[in-house]
Amino acid sequence: MQLNLRSIVCPVDFSNASRQALVMADAIARATNARVTLLYVASPALMVSDGVMAAPTLGTDAGDPTVIHGQLREFAQQTGVAPADYRVEFAAPAEGILAMAADTHADLIVMGTHGRSGLARLLLGSVAEQVLRHSTCPVLLVKANLPNQETPKLESSSTKTKGAAEP
């Protein structure tokens, strides 16, 4: 089976799960000559505290796209990959991911999952689950803390016909 991928979207939240997803997206992209779009979706939701409304932030200047682009580049560099494109969107996370997949005509979304269950999942919901349910392209979920932390080894789809991953 030959994979014909041109565009991969890899949304990140700067967690270990998203770092592992980026490594996987990069390995798939190298094996298939696809482009990786590294995406951060900043929620535009407002928080209210003592009657004052403010946008939630990751830190100083976190709402500034230029700062977030820099954080994305640093995250990719620390992970040891070089995505083709860095994008920042302001939307609800699942909606932003799905919109970027549509905008880039993504053939695959590779994203980390924290594996929440029970009450945490009920209260917080799962962005990964929402993306999985509504995506028009395949979604590969990468769970945090995989036992093998090494970079996945994939062969080019033109040289291997039975599956892409090696044991």
Complete DSSP assignment for the chain: ------EEEEE--SSHHHHHHHHHHHHHHHHHT-EEEEEEEE----EEETTEEE---SSTTTT-HHHHHHHHHHHHHHHT---SEEEEEES-HHHHHHHHHHHTT-SEEEEEE----HHHHHHH--HHHHHHHH-SS-EEEEESS-S--SPPPB--TTT--S-SB--
- pLDDT by 10s per residue, the chain, length 167: 567 899 999 999 999 999 999 999 999 999 999 999 999 999 875 444 455 555 554 544 557 888 999 999 999 999 999 888 999 999 999 999 999 999 999 999 999 987 666 555 555 458 888 999 999 999 999 987 755 545 455 554 443 333 444 43
Query: What superfamily does domain 7-143 belong to in CATH?
Result: HUPs (3.40.50.620)
Q: What pLDDT does 26 receive? A: 96
